[in-house]
Copies of this chain bind each other. A is one copy, B any other.
Amino acid sequence: MVSKPKTLGRKAFRSKAISQGEDFGLKVMVLGADGYLGRPLSLHLLRLGHEVIGVDNLSRRRRVREVGGRSAISLGNPYIWYNRVNALHGGRFDWRIADLLDGEEVEYLFEYYKPDAVVHLAEQPSAPYSQMDRKHAVDTQTNNTIGTLNVLFAIKKYAPDCHLVKLGTMGEWGTPNVDIPEGKFEIKYRGRKDTLPFPKQAGSFYHLTKVFDSHNITYTCRTWGLRSTDIMQGVVYGVVTDDMKVEGSIDMYEPALLTRFDFDQYFGTSLNRFCAQAVIDFPLTIYGSGEQKRGFIALRDSIQCITIALNNPPEKGEYRVWNQFDECYSILELASLVQRVGSEFGMDVKIKAIPNPRVEASKHWYNPVREQLPAHGFKPTHTIEEELRITLPILMKNKDRIESRRHVILPSTDWREAK
């Protein structure tokens, strides 16, 4: 009989490392570890010396396939990714396939790992997907709201000191005609004063789930003494981070360490979609006048910000809100940027306005406060142009993959309709 080869598991590695005086840093659970943000975040935390438990149900892969999309970057088998990352980082990475809707399993994970922090990225992240029809609206609101509720119960029961870093969206605020504070603001009404949560006006069934999450988290921080950083993130763009570089690799970036890059009408966010369109000579599609303004942040800076939150946890019982973006642009300004940088690579990028499938203000005030992150040391790594100069060449290498999904780029879901 031949005995099976043994691989040292995370626990064995940990005890071996600790016996050798190695520091394991924080034990961080990353929910949604197979996603656009989850993969580079896991890599980054591991490189900083933290221990990471990645959890995912692979639903993003399923949903992108469902809408006929495809990541511009090939992902491959998640277990190969896990093995490679784990090998690179001395066995400090663990990996679980689990669904947050399974409350028992979520509690099991928190009881087993008792993480110091959890970064919750495991939600259905697309507004147009949630607007497609009743079933997708129900799926999105159930998945996100109940998934987060299960996480809150698991934290309270098995890791009550755990810091929950929750990914929300700047879209929770909508576009009020005043500046947008980070969480609370002082209100005066009929001669009295209070400091209250700033009102939210979300613009899709998906964005609404982030509002519901924020309410549930606020409540459990107050009632159960949990601690949380609720990140109102802008639109993320970009394709790589420096942690994907491996010394000696010919391509600079190691293919096995890359993350997904979606550009279809459902899962492609505006700036990433523009980049993909530029690469296949498809006019950049502006929804409506293109004057709607949003906050944007590069993938690597989003990871930087989440890391800052992890390194600076709030007090027990504290619920805090960070507006997480670098700069605000109108959609038209972004398209022009892609046009300009594209020309440096010999692209003749065109811009085309189409009727806006969303119900949103075209001209509006937009001035969100962003004080927390800079106060904690956040500094943007690159300008948008510099990031585009990194993104476009990588996408050009994957032109065939993008070309193969040219037909799922234009929007077909209208916010005004219900199916």
Contacts and interface: CB of A to CB of B under 8 A. Distances in A.
Interface of A: 103, 107, 134-135, 137-138, 141-142, 145-146, 149-150, 153, 156-157, 176-179, 181, 185, 187-190, 192-194, 196-205, 208, 211-212, 215-216, 218-219, 222-224, 359, 365, 415-416, 418
Given A142-B146, A212-B145, A199 B202 contact: no
Given A134-B149, A137-B149, A188-B188, 4 more contacts: A178-B192, A196-B199, A208-B216, A211-B212
A211 B202 contact: no
A156 B216 contact: no
26 contacts: A107-B134, A134-B149, A137-B153, A138-B150, A141-B146, A142-B146, A145-B212, A177-B192, A177-B193, A178-B187, A178-B188, A178-B190, A178-B193, A178-B194, A179-B192, A187-B199, A196-B201, A198-B199, A199-B199, A202-B215, A202-B219, A204-B219, A208-B216, A211-B212, A223-B416, A224-B418
B177 A181 contact: no
Contact of A418 (B157, B188, B192, B208): B157
A311 B58 CA distance: 50
B135 A103 contact: yes
A73 B188 CA distance: 46
A416 B202 contact: no
B192 A365 contact: yes
Contacts of A156: 418
Contacts of A190: 178-179
Copies of this protein in the assembly total 2
A211 B222 contact: no
A201 B216 CA distance: 10
A42 to B, nearest CB: 27
Nearest to A208: B215
A145 B153 contact: no
A150 B134 CA distance: 7
Contacts of A197: 199-201
A179 B189 CA distance: 7
A16 to B, nearest CB: 35
Contacts of A107: 134
Contacts of A208: 212, 215-216, 219
A196 B307 CA distance: 33
A179 B188 CA distance: 10
A190 B204 CA distance: 27
Contacts of A141: 145-146, 149
A176 B149 contact: no
